[in-house]
């Protein structure tokens, strides 16, 4: 699976959009980009995933560059409850494949 690089931490004002970048320059054509988050002392929570098209759900939007070497997770209106560590994971299309977590980005949403 491709390696990902994320900034260790970011701050965001409550109510503003949070844009979390992820670099995955070695991504292969069959690898998907997944985003999970982990609120302190809880299990990770699925947010969104995509292959090459931009994706949106009720939680967030995922923007993947045309060359697929990087992506951005957008939380449109961050709240204090969005404070968490956000993990960008790249995983190949192989059944039963595993998730390997990188170091993630600690998002601090401030009032």
Count the Cβ atoms, other than its own, within 10 Å of residue 50: 18
Min dist CB 85 to another protein, Å, is 8
Min dist CB 70 to another protein, Å, is 20
Given a contact cutoff of 8 angstroms between Cβ atoms, the answer to whether 73 and 86 are in contact is: yes
Question: Considering the rule CB under 8 A, would residue 41 count as an interface residue with another protein?
Answer: yes
33: nearest Cα among 4, 75, 66: 4
Stretch that binds another protein, among 12-20, 59-67, 68-76, 95-103 (CB under 8 A): 95-103
Min dist CB 90 to another protein, Å, is 12
Long-range contacts of 57-63 (CB under 8 A, 24+ apart): 60/35, 62/33, 62/35
What is the binding site for another protein (CB under 8 A)?
Answer: 30, 32, 36, 38, 41-46, 49, 51, 87, 91, 93, 95-96, 98-104
């Amino acid at each position: 699976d491709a390696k990902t690089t994320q900034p260790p931490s970011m701050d965001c004002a409550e109510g503003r959009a949070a844009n979390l970048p992820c670099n995955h320059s070695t991504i292969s054509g069959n690898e998907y980009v997944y985003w999970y988050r982990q609120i302190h002392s809880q299990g990770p929570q699925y947010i969104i995933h995509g292959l090459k098209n931009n994706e949106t759900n009720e939680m967030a939007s995922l923007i993947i560059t045309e060359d697929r070497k990087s992506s951005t997770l957008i939380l449109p209106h961050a709240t204090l409850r969005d404070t968490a560590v956000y993990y960008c994971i790249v995983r190949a299309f192989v059944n039963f494949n595993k998730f390997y977590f990188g170091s993630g980005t600690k998002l601090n949403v401030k009032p």
